[in-house]
Structure formats: structure tokens, C-alpha cells
DNA sequence: GCTAAATGATACGGCTGCGAAACGAATTGG
DNA sequence: CCAATTCGTTTCGCAGCCGTATCATTTAGC
């Protein structure tokens, strides 16, 4: 059964989740950073800088910088591809999984309590 | 009937909507700006700088700056409160409504097509 | 082997948002 | 009336992200 949302419900869901993120003490990622994070966790590996840049439709430095930032936060990590040492493989971390699981939980709670 | 999302669905929904926003040519708002926009459109008026600052848990200059930015984009507008001229009332615009309706539509479409 | 191509990182200048503090205008209250 | 309060804005120095161009390293092609 498909998830059926009314327009008002969609907006309310986004507002409440966004509000929770603003209120929370977590580092606030930019839209691009968050999209990269979700993509790495949800789409099949391997993930490279170039691949992510194409997937998001942004330039490579955007990915490199986002990896610097989120790497420092331990939300993602880099590894050199030993079979082609030009490539960098982007991988998940435990901290990133925990972060996204908490986020998913927020979304689920807000969705469940949405007025109909 | 409550909206029931699995954790993976919640994340996938966020990823696809975020990806659509990154791909789109619209100006990308910060998380705070977007939260302010949604709050003004979804919660009962009147909205003031101070009220929004308290609601979001941020300082007043954050609101002022966000209104400068989103005002230039015509997503929101300011009006002096004539009954107490210290106050500024923040109001919706046609452009803002169109913007959020399009956004809601994206969310609805992505939610509907979510794998179960 | 040696040039050309591919990959990710870096340098640069510019723009935008941030928090803290100070400010001007408007209102309140004694 | 006039000092204190309230409200939104502005200023300041700082930090982060942006796109473009360039770089070093590694691989591919001939």
C-alpha cells in the first residue's frame, strides 16, 4: 500500500522534522551534505567522489569539501581504492549509522503523529 | 489512520526529496530559512521576529537576516504592525505559496512511489 | 616508455550566514 | 514627562561554502 500524503501533511511533516533538527544540538549539515550522507547510506556501493558529483549534479570540490566536513564529524570516511589508486571510496561509519537511525526515528514519530 | 513509515522508507523519502531540491534550480535555502518559511505558512498568524526567534530557538538577527534573504526572493514579506509600530508582521506571498505547493507535490510524489 | 587522460585535492576570491554587542525607534509606566 | 523596556535592525569579526582553475598522482593507450 502506497504512502499517501495530503499536501498539508507533507508540509507539516517537513516543518516538524526541520524544527526538530534546528532545535537539536547536532551539527547542522547543508542540504548538499545531508543528501550526500543519505546517498552513501542508501544506494549500493562503491561510492566515489566523481560518482557522487554526477549523481548530485554538482562539481567535485563540493564532494571533497563535504567529505572533509563530514569526515571530521565521523559521519563518513574515505578509503583509497587499492585496485585503482586514483579512486577514493566513501564508506559509512558507526557514528553515521547512529545519526541516521536517530533521524529516521524523528521522521517516523512526526509522521505517525500527523493530523489527518 | 496514522502515517506509518519504516525507518528505511523515511530515509529514502528524505533522500529523494533532498536530491530533487539539489537538482532543482531553485535557490537553496538553509535549514533555518526553510523552517521559518514553513512555520509562517503553517502556523497561525501573526508572526513576529521575536516570536519566530523563540519558536525556532535562535537569536533575532537570524530571523532578520533570513527575512532579508527570503524577502529578496519574494518568498515572504514584512509589514509594520500599525497598532504597535515596534513590531514587524511577517506574511506570506503568492510566490511563497507557489514554491511550497511545488515542494509539497514533490514530497507527495516521492512518498507515493516509495518501495514498501 | 612516454604522452594523454582520469581522479581527487587544493588555492583563490567572493559571498553568505553566524553570535555577540550595540543601536534607533516606539511604547510603557510611574 | 522622562527613564526604562521592548522590538527589530545593524555592525563587527569570523567561519564555512561556493565555482573556477590548477595541481599531483595514478592509470591507460599507443
Q: How do residues A44-100 score in pLDDT, each as one tens digit? A: 999 999 999 999 999 999 999 999 999 999 999 999 999 999 999 999 999 999 999
Determine, for residues A22 and B11 on separate chains, whether the beta-carbon distance falls below 8 Å: no
Q: What is the pLDDT of residues B59-90, one digit of tens each?
A: 999 999 999 999 999 999 999 999 999 999 99
Is B55 a residue whose pLDDT tops 90? yes
Could you count the other beta carbons within 10 Å of the beta carbon of residue A78?
A: 13
Per DSSP, the three-state class of A45 is coil
Taking contacts as CB-CB distances below 8 angstroms, the residues of chain A near B22 are: 31-32, 35, 56-58
CA–C1' gap, B31 and D28, in angstroms: 44
pLDDT-derived band at A1, boundaries 50, 70, 90: low
Q: Are B49 and B80 in contact (CB under 8 A)?
A: no
Residue range B21-39: average pLDDT?
94
pLDDT of residue A15: 98
Q: Give yes or no for B21 touching A (CB within 8 A).
A: yes
Measured in degrees and rounded to the nearest 5, phi and psi for residue A38 equal -65, -40
Q: Quick check: pTM over 0.85?
A: yes
Cell of B55: 519558536
Q: Give yes or no for B42 touching A (CB within 8 A).
A: yes
Taking contacts as CB-CB distances below 8 angstroms, the residues of chain B near A18 are: 31, 34-35, 38
Q: What is the pLDDT of residues A66-79, one digit of tens each?
A: 999 999 999 999 99
Q: What is the pLDDT of residues A15-32, one digit of tens each?
A: 999 999 999 988 889 999
Q: Pick the closest to residue B101 from B18, B42, B28, B54 (CA basis).
A: B42
pLDDT of residue B1: 65
List chain C nucleotides near protein: any atom < 7 Å from a Cβ. Answer: 6-11, 16-21, 24-28
Tell me how close the Cα of A3 comes to any Cα of chain B, in angstroms. 5
CA A56, A61, A65, A67 torsion-angle sign: positive
Amino acid at each position: 500500500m502506497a504512502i499517501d500524503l495530503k499536501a498539508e501533511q507533507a508540509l507539516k511533516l517537513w516543518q516538524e522534522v526541520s524544527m526538530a533538527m534546528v532545535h537539536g544540538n547536532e551539527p547542522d549539515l547543508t542540504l548538499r551534505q545531508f543528501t550526500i550522507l543519505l546517498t552513501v547510506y542508501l544506494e549500493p556501493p562503491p561510492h566515489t567522489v566523481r560518482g557522487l558529483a554526477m549523481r548530485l549534479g554538482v562539481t567535485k570540490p563540493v564532494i571533497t569539501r563535504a567529505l572533509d566536513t563530514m569526515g571530521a564529524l565521523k559521519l563518513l570516511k574515505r578509503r583509497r581504492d587499492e585496485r585503482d589508486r586514483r579512486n577514493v571510496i566513501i564508506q559509512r561509519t558507526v557514528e553515521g549509522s547512529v545519526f541516521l537511525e536517530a533521524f529516521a526515528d524523528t521522521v517516523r514519530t512526526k509522521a505517525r503523529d500527523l493530523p489527518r
